[in-house]
Chains A and B, each alone.
Chain A
Amino acid sequence: MGAYFDDKDLAHFGDLKGHHPDLWSAFESYYGKAFEPGLLTKREKVLVGFAVAASSQCPYCIDSYTQQALEQGLTMKHLAEALHAAASLKAGITLAHGLVAHNIDKKVSM
């Protein structure tokens, strides 16, 4: 194995089905329905997918959702806004977790 992540792997995602077809089919159905347009448009859902992919640092999903976003008429400028929104939230989450340290410090320090 040359690398853990290979862009050619993405086309073989469905190969995992063979290990447990029932659970895989359930996942496919759920995933498909979750991304169908509803109150949110397809494009809004693709942007959610992109932000989660970047935040979760999944190269496969970043590849897929970048291409889907381009096919929704979005550009790298749109995606940059989404990246900064996701990144700033991650920064806020890191800081918010500082409250645990803050509270512990208050509890145990004189």
Chain B
Amino acid sequence: MATTAPIPLSMSSDRFRRRLASARCDLRADAVTTLQINVGRICNQACRHCHVEASPARTELMGDDVVEACFDVLARHPEIGTLDITAGAPELHPRFREMVERGRALGRTVIARHNLTVQFEPGQEGLPELFAAHGVELVSSLPHYLADATDRQRGHGVFDKSVAALRALNAVGYGQGGPLKLTLVANPVGAFLPPRQDDLERDMRDHLQRTYGITFDQLFVITNMPLGRFAQWLQRAGLYDEYLCKLENAFNPATLESVMCRSLVSVNYDGRLHDCDFNQMLDIELAPGASRTIFDFKADTLAGRPILIGDHCLGCTAGAGSSCGGNLTE
């Protein structure tokens, strides 16, 4: 297991803390209802905005002991209704298919953060059929319905491959309004806020259907987090402070009720626990008093814990809000 992860940029100012204070909000977690496991940093893509800084060159993978501990926790805690599998590209973990099967066998909703193009990697044949057979909910990134915009963020040729992958998912029943849910995720290709979710969903639905015959169930619109490669790009472009100001000016206290950190706990590939995947990338562990790792998981130490925050949290609270579940407010 490699330990050469790039050092994340530190979040040095106090912008979010001040905003939280002005909203008179004490940000604490509710009971854990989602276990989000980041099974590794490897990905077949190296997107320019990736907060994980995932790529084909990364080698970190969740170890067998951590995988077993996750399923032990799920088995002991029926109140955790959702297993959310992310990475990198989670499908590249050698035990991914087993994780899907075990999650479903335990009766949990299983979400896979599926980047679409991984379907065409060697050894990944039959992924759409696997997802369909187990009723996995798919959440897939497609920044824009235009190839140029998507490829600028995710790499040359990614849009065309994504279209082919979406057609394969449609062919096995995904995105038809039935039980096989296909959610697309769009995020800005640059240092600006995303459009309204319903506006872009209408355009995305119309364009993908008319041009490619593709359907999907819903669109989430998310804000780019000033972390990882996106933060590095912001700094190189001289836009970091301007972008944080933009996020801060768009701070919306109504989002605080439903930010994802309230209901999930994020498991690192090495077993450590975090308030969210973003804190995981910053190596911000849970507040003192809460369980430290999946091996000593105790639900009563997690419910009510104070969420540890940084300026990156402005990304989840700007405008209509943003999370793994899209907009947080109407």
Contact = CB atoms under 8 A, between A and B. Distances in A.
Interface in B179-238: 186, 188-190, 192-195, 199-200, 203
B193 A71 contact: yes
B144 A72 contact: no
A43 interface: yes
A48 interface: no
Contacts of B149: 75, 77
A49 B146 CA distance: 23
Contacts, number: 29
A38 interface: no
A64 to B, nearest CB: 12
Nearest to B201: A73
B199 A67 contact: no
A72 B221 CA distance: 12
A41 B202 CA distance: 13
Contacts of B148: 75, 77
A70 B146 contact: no
Interface residues of B, number: 15
A70 B188 contact: yes
Contact of B199 (A73, A75, A77): A73
B146 A71 contact: no
Contacts of A73: 144, 186, 194-195, 199-200, 203
A71 to B, nearest CB: 5
A71 B192 contact: yes
B190 A70 contact: yes
Contacts of A67: 192
A77 B192 contact: no
B146 A77 contact: yes
Interface string A68-88: 001111010100000000000
16 contacts: A41-B199, A67-B192, A70-B188, A70-B190, A71-B192, A71-B195, A72-B195, A73-B186, A73-B194, A73-B199, A75-B144, A75-B148, A75-B149, A75-B189, A77-B146, A77-B149
Which 8 pairs show the lowest CB-CB distances between chains A and B? A73-B195, A73-B200, A70-B192, A71-B193, A75-B149, A72-B195, A71-B192, A67-B192
